[in-house]
A and B are shown apart, each in its own frame.
Chain A
């Protein structure tokens, strides 16, 4: 009956080949936690489903000279179990570990979360704050895309036909540097972010030497908020700097009114979460532990 094909690729090359042959009707199956739901609702009708979980480099985490590369299809739960990764990028990992329930964690991946291109994707603001690079492979070879440029609109990415995301590379962490991610949801779990904010900070003494801010669910794509970072850099994270950064986040918002929140609320919360995330990132630099929203 089914018109759909299922292909399990063994190598990146093979996956690219399947995707290219599918002529735009191919969908990558990583964790499947978005794709299967979209297939059920009719929102996406794949011609070919390309399972990439048997490709070793897409489901493993490697470290080279202090830089981590995360296989795009690695389940979030596996990322959370990687102690060194978690210690180096606590914000990125807590963001990944907020994607769905424990059950969803067993399947959902950062690569899938990114490629689904939801403006409310939990991992993406943290990846943006982290300065993550997306490693793409395609029929014409490999390329690297800064994560903040990867999505082009709700459900849309800059991938060309036949291209797939192989992995995500996080840069080497400077000293005195850490990150945090916070999202606002109406319940304590099982919701899509109404607003999500990722902050990555590098301190020199008690002064912010470098900062990046990623802001989700307030615009068609996740935003890199340079003005917020500017407001933080050079400050001691005093109230005035935090207020200015929060105001920059609110100003960057271009949200919609929907079932998950109003424009007014989202704009306000963007600022609230910026302040809270920045304080957590600083605490972490100072060795104060924050275990994140979810205790397990």
Chain B
């Protein structure tokens, strides 16, 4: 059973209710328009020529035959974009270098992965565009390639970038390597801690690259005018980022570019960077026509950001009573073809669930001939958490301790200082562990043949820049405008907060997502920030509007604005001493707006800090077919500290969706490369995301520990749920079979082999 445990019972009228989402009707009728659904009269179709090689010097590109083909209106290569400086810009929870972005959207000196764009064409039809691609002659000098992280770190590995010296190397790097960066975090004295420990568990783990797997491929439509202005429609998590990146990539000013976000068919972090947009814009500039581009699914897999795979070493030292006294984690992570893996957050999150005195964490950011990684839901954290939470399970078994009790004994709480330096404010790790411990699921006996696994996860959540505006219409209804694409119901949560703040019916508030020219800057939809940070901007814009409404009422009543209060959707005199006036509704005030100062609007622009970290604990029962290695997930419960669940259904949805992505990561999803460095499974058939019949119900427990730094106690909720599942599944497999998996995914062939290898040992032991 799913549970919602509000801390705000009776406090709110709208918050915590489950109304229909404002874009619901559009999305169940096919009316909602996603990236590929936009077209313009006279548009051309753009197509990308991609490198067939994993690593090759581009000696020359001859586009003349393609250009000569009837119906081809423009051809571009890297030469059509100015080179970029070595400049780091944020994209969400990850950072990218402009020098690398321009090389990622279009290969310059070298093709660095199979699928790397080398040229693009725009033609009057898709068929002609495709034919044109076949007429482009690229002269490649194929180089040795490297796919695996451990291989890429070897001194004799093929080097991707001659300029790359390991940042943070000790001693400083003197020659180029594929290790872009080394980072470390220290707390206390890990060495001394391990010396003191009565039990030390040490284990190595590996994970494979996985894709975000959004069902909607990347798509864009760009229309450049002769005066330098460009309109763009894009399916993106951040249209302001599209504008910002493209302005730099094309040498334009941001004001020349107007980006309208389409409805977005999933992103999970993967749509926070640009791929097609700058190409479509450049093709449109060159051809003078609108250019539409969409990726085929295969291109999405080959060339849009997957999440990295990595190698993780974990060492945990504890006392016999379960108290952890030392912990160490070393993470080597794929960045893809350019530096910038989420190894930082992977390191920071590794032990953040726990209060440990002595911690040492080291991370390596490693390039190889794979597509550049992009953010994927709590980037990096699932990888380190898998290793840490598996090791904790071994520790629990070694100590013969209940795995929840072990975690409770070491749980981070208010005042805990993390290894990366932050001291926690009010957090809900303990409450979330207790929620699982006390759940009907955890209390129920494990069915015969099944194993039960639990694991925890932590994510920071972010705030960052948000703008919002609120308008009172002539009839008193309200429009709330913000600038974050709605990827999972955020229109509803923003409207709920606005309705609560205003004291009006939820259905009277219409939330709108504006284009880059119609609202101030908004950072991406990512980092679990929209309901928290943009929510705060919306609340503040409504408060700004209420301030104005009070001024208008005061004007009508000819009293001081300070003497007006806003209550239940009405302006009222603050008390009897002010005078006796009939309350004025939004409609009343709107009707008289012309005489009291004109339109009534509110605005807010914020750099939001004070994001409340989130903790999740998941519990899974599964059984393994010991002959085939197939896993059947029988029961699943996800508990999370969600701050305040503004719209509980969509909060549950985040937990359920994240859990299932984690289950997929654990069991079957992986990038498989062949010996030539080509991706062998670039489609939904062989990149095996979970289907409905693979899964049970995903039960949820919403634990509410409000974030003290938000007026409604909101914490981000979207990312935490993908962190615990992998280890929860692995721990359940271990408990069901006695076999501890250390390599992902735990697919039937791999699990079967491990079971076969363990069988003689098991038999001997018996």
Contacts and interface: CB of A to CB of B under 8 A. Distances in A.
Interface in B108-130: 125, 127-128
A159 interface: no
A192 B685 contact: yes
Interface residues of B, number: 27
A288 interface: no
Given A186-B748, A188-B694, A268-B752, A260 B686 contact: yes
A189 B747 contact: no
B685 A190 contact: yes
A269 B628 contact: yes
Nearest to B126: A1
A191 B748 contact: no
Contacts of B125: 1
Contacts of A194: 748-749
Contact of A272 (B127, B627, B747): B627
Contacts of A264: 753
Among A192, A194, A259: residue with most chain B CB under 10 A: A259
B690 interface: yes
A184 B748 contact: yes
Contact of B685 (A191, A261, A265, A268): A191
A186 B668 contact: yes
A234 B127 CA distance: 61
Nearest to B681: A259
A2 B630 contact: no
Nearest to A295: B693
A190 B686 contact: no
B186 interface: no
Contacts of B672: 259
B749 A265 contact: yes
Contacts of B688: 186-187, 190-191
B414 interface: no
Contacts of A5: none
A66 to B, nearest CB: 35
B669 to A, nearest CB: 10
Contacts of B753: 262, 264-265
Contact of A1 (B128, B627, B693): B128
Nearest to A266: B749
A190 B127 CA distance: 30
Contacts of B693: 187-189
B686 A265 contact: no
A262 B753 CA distance: 10
Nearest to B631: A186
A259 B691 contact: no
Contacts of B749: 194, 261-262, 265
Interface in B671-720: 672, 680-681, 684-686, 688, 690-691, 693-694
Interface in A176-195: 184, 186-192, 194
Interface string A14-50: 0000000000000000000000000001000000000
A187 B693 CA distance: 8
A269 B751 CA distance: 13
Interface string B729-766: 00000000000000000011100110010000000000
A259 B690 contact: no
Among B627, B667, B672: residue with most chain A CB under 10 A: B627
Interface in B276-305: 298
Category for how many chain A residues contact B: 20 to 34
Contacts of A184: 628, 630, 748
Among A1, A187, A191: residue with most chain B CB under 10 A: A187
A188 B127 contact: no
A258 B675 CA distance: 11
Nearest to B747: A186
A260 B694 CA distance: 18
A17 to B, nearest CB: 28
Nearest to B131: A1
B680 A188 contact: no
A190 B628 contact: no
A2 B130 CA distance: 12
Contacts of B685: 190-192
A16 to B, nearest CB: 30
A188 B748 contact: no
A151 B694 CA distance: 33
A195 B277 CA distance: 43
Among B125, B680, B749: residue with most chain A CB under 10 A: B749
A138 B681 CA distance: 37
Interface in B628-683: 628-630, 667-668, 672, 680-681
A2 B125 CA distance: 11
Interface string B379-400: 0000000000000000000000
Contacts of A265: 629, 748-749, 752-753
Given A187-B694, A188-B693, A2 B127 contact: yes
B667 to A, nearest CB: 8
Interface in B431-466: none
A261 B686 CA distance: 11
Interface in A256-283: 258-262, 264-265, 268-269, 272
Among A192, A194, A258, A260: residue with most chain B CB under 10 A: A260
A232 to B, nearest CB: 19
Among A190, A192, A258, A269: residue with most chain B CB under 10 A: A190
Given A1-B128, A264-B753, A187 B686 contact: no
Contact of A189 (B667, B680, B691, B756): B691
Contact of A186 (B127, B630, B680, B684): B630
Contacts of B690: 187
A89 B690 CA distance: 31
Nearest to A1: B127
B80 to A, nearest CB: 27
Interface in A89-110: none
Interface in A144-193: 184, 186-192
Contact of B691 (A41, A188, A268): A188
B747 to A, nearest CB: 5
Interface string B81-109: 00000000000000000000000000000
A194 B750 CA distance: 13
A241 to B, nearest CB: 18
A155 B157 CA distance: 38
Contacts of A41: 298
A43 to B, nearest CB: 12
Contact of A187 (B127, B298, B629, B668): B668
Nearest to B632: A188
A188 B628 CA distance: 13
Nearest to A260: B686
A186 B752 CA distance: 11
A191 B669 CA distance: 13
A233 B685 CA distance: 38
A264 B752 CA distance: 10
A194 B752 CA distance: 13
A187 B684 CA distance: 12
Contacts of B748: 184, 186, 194, 265
Contacts of A189: 691, 693-694
Contacts of A192: 685-686
A184 B625 CA distance: 11
A165 B742 CA distance: 49
A94 to B, nearest CB: 15
Nearest to B692: A189
A194 B630 CA distance: 12
Given A189-B694, A190-B691, 19 more contacts: A186-B630, A186-B747, A187-B690, A187-B694, A188-B694, A189-B691, A190-B684, A190-B685, A191-B685, A191-B688, A192-B685, A194-B748, A194-B749, A259-B686, A262-B749, A264-B753, A265-B748, A269-B628, A272-B627
18 contacts: A1-B128, A184-B628, A184-B748, A186-B748, A187-B668, A188-B694, A189-B694, A190-B691, A191-B685, A191-B688, A192-B685, A258-B680, A259-B680, A259-B681, A261-B749, A262-B753, A265-B629, A265-B752
6 A-B pairs with least C-beta separation:
A265-B749, A188-B693, A272-B627, A259-B680, A259-B672, A1-B127
